[in-house]
Amino acid sequence: MSEIKKIKNLKEFSTSADRFEGANLLCPGCAHSIIVREVLNATNDDLILAASTGCLEVCTAVYPYTSWDASWIHIGFENGSSAVAGAEAMYKALKNKGRLKQPDRTPKFVAFGGDGATYDIGFQWISGCFERGHNMMYVCLDNEVYANTGGQRSSSTPIGSSTTTAPAGRVSYGEKMMKKDMMAIMAAHGAPYVAQVAPNKWKDMVAKIQKGFAAEGPVYINAMSACTTEWKFAPEDTIAISDLAVDSLVFPLYEIINGEKLNITYRPKNIIPVRDYLGAQGRFKHLFTKQYEYLIDEWQKNVDKKWDYLQRREEASV
């Protein structure tokens, strides 16, 4: 195994040379890009990357340009995971036969996919990769909506969010279903490392990415990606909204090791009401009316319940 890059503090991290380039076509203020930077800059090793169809892929490979300074592949919506798994299997085979041209180099295999690609359309492929135990990292850019095609609901969309296929109006408060618990599902595969991260907590995130790179086997990272366009907030507020999400515990930061041991990695000093998080985004605007405000209390109860569950699991070391 290669050496882990030393990142003691933010000053040291800022000496990284990005392998992801500007003049891509992601929206101003897009968190996908902040996440990609933190993942790629967590290592100096070679990278073999894939992206499923979605904002990240569409905006970074616009003919005749590429924004990637590493091996990068896109095939379809559903198979970013298996594209990288195939490369990883070939790498292993060549290694076993002693046919690697540069055996001293230890590339990292990473697939990126949106929540649509991860929670819904690519789910079976990801599950297959994890069951087969490829040595790879899968990063879900979780913006809770099919952003690239104009904001359709996915199984990651949280209850009460207004989307183009579950719009809020006179007869509906928008999305009816609860967000799918992808963390639990991936941990149930027995993966060595599963973690939820948020780019605004860069140190927590980079530490988890490095743990993931050091693990043997498939690693799942669920990265909260605040989407200025679909969550409906001003582009300069991406980090502020992300802070509200982690400090209200809507996006708790935790890890699950070997599918068994759960650790909470960030405990807000001041837990803020879920109401403050919802109120900062246009997608939840209709909840602040007489007709639908009961949902805000329900939201708070759900978040409290989940936090209680995570704490009990951590305490019991299971």
Partner 1 sequence: MEKKGWDGFEIGAMLRSFDGATRDIATTLPEDRPYSQSNSFTASVADWRIEKPLFNKDYCIDCQFCWVYCPDMSIISRDKKMVGIDFDHCKGCGICVEVCPTNPKSLLMFAEQQDEESAIAEWPKKDTSKAKEEAKDE
Ligand X SMILES: Cc1ncc(C[n+]2csc(CCOP(=O)(O)OP(=O)(O)O)c2C)c(N)n1
Which residues contact partner 1 by CB under 8 A? 9-15, 17-26, 28-34, 37-38, 43-46, 60, 62-70, 199-200, 202-203, 234-240
Query: To the nearest whole angstrom, how small is the minimum distance from the Cβ of residue 93 to ligand X?
Result: 29
How far are the Cα atoms of 153, 183, 198 from residue 238, in angstroms, in the given order? 21, 23, 11
Question: Given candidates 30, 195, 241, 253, which one binds ligand SF4 under the rule CB under 6 A?
Answer: 30
Query: To the nearest whole angstrom, how small is the minimum distance from the Cβ of residue 212 to partner 1?
Result: 17
Question: Given candidates 24, 148, 163, 196, which one binds ligand X under the rule CB under 6 A?
Answer: 148
How far are the Cα atoms of 79, 222, 239 from residue 129, in angstroms, in the given order? 10, 16, 32
Residues 39-58 that bind ligand SF4 (CB under 6 A): 55
Q: Please give the torsion angle defined by the CA atoms of residues 15, 16, 22 and 25, in that order, rounded to the nearest 10 degrees.
A: -130
Residues 44-63 that bind ligand X (CB under 6 A): 53-56
What's the CA gap between 194 and 139, in Å, rounded?
10
Specify the residue, 11 or 290, whose C-beta has the smaller distance to partner 1: 11
Interaction between residue 223 and ligand SF4 (CB under 6 A): no
Residues 147-176 that bind Mg ion (CB under 5 A): 147
- The token duo for 44 is 């100096």
What's the CA gap between 70 and 67, in Å, rounded?
9
Specify the residue, 14 or 270, whose C-beta has the smaller distance to partner 1: 14
Q: In which region does residue 54 sit, left (phi positive, over 0), alpha (psi from -120 to 50) or beta (all else)?
A: left
Specify the residue, 162 or 229, whose C-beta has the smaller distance to ligand SF4: 229
What's the CA gap between 276 and 273, in Å, rounded?
6
Contacted entry of ligand X, ligand SF4, partner 1, none for residue 239, CB cut-off 5 to 8 Å set by kind: partner 1
CA angle 221, 224, 227 (to 5 degrees): 140
Specify the residue, 79 or 225, whose C-beta has the smaller distance to partner 1: 225
What's the CA gap between 170 and 5, in Å, rounded?
54
Q: Which candidate, 129, 112, 132, 123, places its Cα nearest to that of 185?
A: 123
Specify the residue, 29 or 107, whose C-beta has the smaller distance to Mg ion: 29
Question: Given candidates 38, 88, 115, 247, which one binds ligand X under the rule CB under 6 A?
Answer: 115
Residues of this chain that interact with ligand SF4 (CB under 6 A) are 26-27, 30, 32, 55, 59, 143, 147-148, 227-230
